[in-house]
Chain A
């Protein structure tokens, strides 16, 4: 049970000219553990949705066939469990236990069997709270584990996971991977999408690489695939193990002071912290999920009013405005000096096309239209979004949306750039591009603050690291 057969499969989203995936021929036997790879935008998430029977006929155009145990996935949904990248949109009920029970109720499982199965599923993923805990009170990692429990409770023959550990701290990611490994039965088929290959390899016995233009680029055991195509795949953007990326060390030593935080805090989201940011310096902020990193980023970015302490901008950064704290500045003053990239890219989009999104900042800060067009075209090209200039930001793939949100902050070339998780969900090529972009900015005398769980990114770019204590230590 849980075998997959794709013949010449292709899908084109409504409103798009290009096919998201095309010409995929693939057979997966029951019980196989497959890692699905490919550069950002190659169509991995689209393919998973198709397998889960979640591409409604009215939302695009299909080519070829998909079958799960010989059935159309839209008919055979009870065989499949899915966990998407964004756990928040997958939770249906207000209480954790009810949420896991939701799928069981839908399948008509007898009432007296439901709660034992809920408890078992929660236990298998190591969920630490009682059933009546509210889902809104969970951190990202806990939500992810709950979503996994919801899928496992249905005892699926085929389990589909789309970047299940994005946005988790290393310990949380380990826990989720552990949960997956120990929760799978021997005959459960697994298809996993994950950019960071090294971490995912212990879970899988087969690797399939999608070709962006269409078709399957490589297929086989991890060793075979990486031995035969390793270097080529790495160049195309796949995170092949054993192909490290060179560090970009700062070319100059840190310059003038830009921003100071004195005993800055916002209880209960963030305890007190002291911090300085200098020009020509890349500062990394790390810490476990829920430690308050995003809160800190918003405070430094002048977007939240501090609950305690203060943020001071130096005259170097703020000119005449250095006497008032950034959160009191008028928006155009702020946007020209401090750029912010939010953790969830979709929170950041303001307009309805990729082009307008990039042009908004420069236009608001009063640049002439010719300069605006030039800046935008440069950024689109560098982050490989030119093809999508007219697309709606909300229809982009996970990686594309992340790139766009970083680019919007780069567009006004602010002296200080504050980015929350700028590299999650990125393929290797874009990742390098981002490191280079940030490094170039830093070397040109800008300050760069990045909040990140990505140890490779810290190793490749950061000059200095600040680590926040876990939330339980706040007082």
Chain B
């Protein structure tokens, strides 16, 4: 691939940032609407891993929409910085965590040399970002828990959730976005019927 197509246009940068920011706002709204269930999750944290994939969606969607090297990593990192600015309880620590998670998805897209953006690639990206997230938590947050009863199931659930929600879900969401016409200026949004 030559340099001109790999260079990010302004619209690539802004839309990638906006995707990250919009997810930040959606997470915030989720907290408002479902504060009750959030409380419930806090009292049984293993269940939270089922939804882990939602937090990893910006990485996969960023990669699928922008289709440039670095897009997945950039989206997840910006989302992390935003949640730090909004005052998430994890504050600064989400930033390195976001970077690690973004690298997972990034590696998947790089493995296909940024040429394939079909379902298998998306699912693979979801799985890898889940793997990187699981590794981070395994070593940084979960060391003191029982290995077979908690740490391993937690890691596996994270990967499954990321594969399904971030990977498959991210692919579906990108398709739905393309159908609305907002992605007309991106490769992901081409080939719609004329009106």
- Residues of A at under 8 Å CB distance from B? 14-17, 56, 58-59, 352, 388, 390-392, 394-395
Residues of A close to B185: CB separation below 8 A: 56, 58-59
Q: Are B181 and A390 in contact (CB under 8 A)?
A: no
Return the chain A residue nearest B180 by Cβ.
A352
- Tell me which of A17, A388, A390, A392 has the highest count of chain B C-beta atoms within 10 A of its own C-beta: A392
The answer, among B11, B179, B184, B193, for a CB contact under 8 Å with A352, is B179
Assembly CA distance A16 to B192 (angstroms): 10
B42 at the interface (CB under 8 A from A): no
Closest Cβ of chain B: how far from A358's Cβ, in Å? 16
- Chain A residues in 8 Å Cβ range of B182: 394
Residues of A within 8 A of B181 (CB): 15, 352, 392, 394-395
The residues of B that contact A352 with a CB separation of less than 8 Å are 179-181
A391: B residues at CB distance < 8 A: 195
Interface positions, chain B 176-195, Cβ under 8 Å from A, are: 179-182, 184-185, 192-195
Pair A17/B195 contact, Cβ less than 8 Å: yes
The CA of A17 and the CA of B194, in the complex, are separated in Å by 6
Query: A15–B195 contact, CB under 8 A?
Result: yes
Complex A-B: 18 CB contacts under 8 Å = A15-B181, A15-B184, A15-B192, A15-B193, A17-B194, A17-B195, A56-B185, A58-B185, A59-B185, A352-B180, A388-B195, A390-B195, A391-B195, A392-B180, A392-B181, A392-B195, A394-B180, A394-B182
Question: Of A16, A388, A392, which one neighbours B194 at CB under 8 angstroms?
Answer: A16
A388 to B181 CA separation, bound complex (whole angstroms): 15
| Chain A residues within an 8 Å CB radius of B184 | 14-15, 59
Chain B, 140-195, CB within 8 A of any chain A CB: 179-182, 184-185, 192-195
Whether A15 lies near B194 (C-beta < 8 A) is yes
Roughly how many angstroms separate A352 CA and B193 CA in the complex, as a whole number?
A: 14
The complex places the Cα of A17 from the Cα of B195 at a distance, in Å, of 6
Contact A16 B180 (CB under 8 A): no
Closest residue of chain A to B182 (Cβ to Cβ) is A394
Q: Output the residue of B181, B184, B195 with the most chain A CB within 10 A.
A: B195
Give Cα distance in the complex from A388 to B182, angstroms. Answer: 17
A394 to B183, CA, bound (A): 12
CB of A99, distance to nearest CB on chain B (Å): 15
CA distance A388 to B193 in the complex (A): 14
> Given A15-B192, A15-B193, A395-B181, 8 more contacts at CB 8 Å?
A15-B181, A15-B195, A17-B195, A56-B185, A58-B185, A352-B179, A392-B181, A394-B181
Smallest CB separation, A29 vs chain B (Å): 32
* B179 closest partner in A (C-beta): A352
Chain B residues in 8 Å Cβ range of A56: 11, 185
Chain B residue contacts of A394, Cβ below 8 A? 180-182
- The residues of A that contact B193 with a CB separation of less than 8 Å are 15
A17: B residues at CB distance < 8 A:
194-195
Kindly state the separation between the CA atoms of A391 and B180 in the bound complex, as whole angstroms: 10
- Distance between Cα atoms of A56 and B181 in the complex (Å): 16
A352 closest partner in B (C-beta):
B180
- Which residue of the partner chain A has the closest CB to B192? A15
Residues of B within 8 A of A392 (CB): 180-181, 195
Inter-chain CA distance A214–B194, complex, in Å, is: 20
In the bound complex, CA of A185 to CA of B192 (Å): 46
Instruction: Please encode chain B, from 48 to 75, with 1 for each CB lying within 8 Å of some chain A CB and 0 for all others.
Output: 0000000000000000000000000000
Residues of B within 8 A of A58 (CB): 185
Bound CA–CA A4/B33 (angstroms)? 53
B153 → chain A closest CB, angstroms: 41
With both beta carbons as reference points, the residue of chain A lying nearest to B187 in the complex is identified as A58
Nearest-Cβ distance from residue A350 to partner chain B, whole angstroms: 12
In the A-B complex, the 9 residue pairs with the closest CB atoms: A392-B181, A390-B195, A391-B195, A17-B194, A352-B180, A14-B184, A59-B185, A15-B192, A16-B195
B179 neighbours in A (Cβ, 8 Å): 352
Q: Closest B-chain residue to A12, C-beta based?
A: B194
Residue ID in chain B nearest A354 by CB atoms: B195
- Once bound together, how far apart are the Cα atoms of A59 and B11, in whole Å? 12
Q: In the complex, A16→B193 CA distance in Å?
A: 9
CB distance from B173 to the nearest CB of A (A): 15
